[in-house]
Each structure stands twice: as C-alpha cells, then as structure tokens.
Amino acid sequence: MLSYENIFDSLGLREWCDESQANSLMSLSQLRGDKIEWWELPFPSLDNLHKACSAIPQTRDLTASLETGFLAVRPSLRLVLDPLTQPLSWALDYTLLFFTTMPWWALVPLILLITQFVTKSSRITFLVAICFVFFLFIDHYTYAIQTLSIIFVCTVLCTLIGIPIGILMSKNDSAQRMITPVLDMLQTLPTFVYLIPLIFLFKITEPKLYGLAIMFYSIVPVIRLTNLGIRLVDKNLIEAADAYGMTARQRLVNVEIPLALPNIMAGVNQTIMMSLAMVVIASLVSAPGLGTLVLDGINNLRLGVGFVAGFGIVVLAVILDRISKTALARIDESRKI
C-alpha cells in the first residue's frame, strides 16, 4: 500500500517531518478500516503533503506569505510609485472640479459645439443634446458629467501612453515579443482583479486608485491597433518615402501615422468603451459618477435607482460610440479624397 507518509519514511525524512502533527493517509484509512491502494492516492498537493509531513507548508501558508511579502515591500513601492502616479490624481481631481463647477448652461453648449466640430453631423449633435436634456430632466446630470470627466482623463492618458508603445512595438520585433504577453494578461484578467493590488498599494480615497485600474484595463486596444495599423502600411509607400530621402522620423509622421490613423482611431474608440465599462467597477473604490448609483441600487436593492443609472451609462456609451465612429468615418473619407 502506498502513502505519502511511507514515501517520506523511505527517504529518511521522518526526523525532518513533525511526527506528532503528521496526519497521514494511512492512519486515516486505518481509522476507517479501509486500505488505500495506489490508484486511490490523491494528487500530491501542498495540503495533502502537509498531512503526511507537517514541515511542508499548506496552501494557506503560501498565500499568507505572499501577502506578507507584498506588505513588506509596500512602503518601498509607494516611495517610487507615489511621485509617478500623483499627477493622475491631480488630473482627475481638477478635471472633476472643472466640469462639475461649470454651470450646465455653459458646459452643455460647449460639449455640443465640440461634437459638431468633431463629427460635422447635425444628427449626432442633436442626439447628444437630447441625451443631456434627459440627464438634466432626471437630475442625473452631475453623475453623468463625473463619469464623462473620468473617461476623458483616462482616455487621453491611455492615448498619450498607448500610441508611443504601439509605435515601438511596430518598429521593434523584440519589444513586441516582450510587450504582447503583458497585453494578453491585461486583456484576460477579470475586471475585479485589477483592484486587488491597487487597494493594497494605495489608499482607497486616492483618485489614482480607480484611475490606474481604468487605464490598465482600457489601454490594451489602442496599443494593439496602433501596432497593427503601422505594420499594415503598404511597403511600397514606405519604399517611395525612402526614395524621396525621408528620415525615419519624417516617414513615421508624414506617411505611416496618417495611413494608420483609422486603426488608431478604432483603438481609441475601444479604449473609450472599455473605460466606460470599468467606471462601474471602479465605483467600488470610490470612483464618482453613475457607477455609484448602480452600486447603491445593488447594495440596497433599489431596483429603480440601479436601472435608471444603468440606462444612463448605456446612453453615454451610445453617444460616445457614435461620436468616435463618426469621427473615424470622416478620417476614412478624407483619405479617399
């Protein structure tokens, strides 16, 4: 009969193991009056090995050691990361302050003018106007503006950071091989997992906590599509640019980025949508906006509050999607001309 206790005994490790606390599979079987055959032996997991040899840690010891180690390096990490991430907190705070203190009769027309300038579409501008009238009518205007402010800051920062990373990946195969696994991880992690290390690292009242969670979740599309767009540029056009004596920088700015702009804008569109999706999850860590109403509806079983706030998020998603797609269509038309 095979058991892990017998294996440790045959290897001469019994003195290393704490016999007084060992709880082998053999002794358990004897208490039942059964015998454990080799095909009944469970997988040698940490918990099963601990039963035969208490010197081997359990799974809970492993997780506890990871938490202890993270808490031990937390002060050093904060010393480095606080100065780097503090501008994000300032950007979120001041943007929220600016948009929420500006009166609606000044901010809404400004948003409509920007929408008309970007889309050149009266239909889209009218749709945005109707949506803001809806928010004003149900007294959700402030929450909607808070959500838009967060999306604005996070999308701008994701674009400023993601496009250079995408360009680097398109120009350097080694960089692409190193960055792609990181992007795969960020894209496959469940949304709640983004909050776990950030909660341990930062205070829950700091805006950079939810700002970083939103950015980590939504930056992937703009990086991937920037890389893809530049790699799909026609090689003949690149050779023609080289023949005209363009430098690598001139070729990138004047040829490759303009031709890759539709793909880049598609990445920005997806980043906006993913930022909006993450804003609701970020409300768990003090992110303001419509997500807080959704969370309130869930916690207090207030169906109406949660439903109306969720519908408001859908409305924001629709208008942001229409604006970005219309702007992308304009870029495509200008290229054809």
What residues does each domain of the chain span? 4-56, 71-336
Please give the Cα distance from 56 to 266 (Å, whole number): 52
Question: Has residue 281 got a pLDDT over 90?
Answer: no
> Tell me: the pLDDT tens digits for 82-131?
888 999 999 999 999 999 999 999 999 999 999 999 888 899 999 999 99
CA–CA–CA angle 270, 216, 177 (5° rounding): 85
Upper half-sphere CA count for residue 60 (Cβ side, 13 Å): 1
Q: How confident is the model at residue 20 (pLDDT cuts 50, 70, 90)?
A: very low
pTM of the predicted protein model: 0.83
Average pLDDT over residues 192-204: 83
Q: How confident is the model at residue 63 (pLDDT cuts 50, 70, 90)?
A: confident
Token pair of 282, please?
């970020």
Burial class of 89 by CB neighbour count within 10 A (0 to 12, 13 to 18, 19+): middle
Average pLDDT over residues 53-70: 82
Token pair of 65, please?
């050691």
**For residues 237 and 231, is the Cβ–Cβ distance under 8 A?**
no
The highest-level CATH class for domain 71-336 is mainly alpha
Cβ neighbours of residue 119 under 8 Å, at least 6 residues apart? 125, 322, 323, 326, 327, 330
- Provide Rg for the chain, Cα atoms: 28
Confidence (pLDDT) at 138 = 92
Share of the chain above pLDDT 90, in %: 45
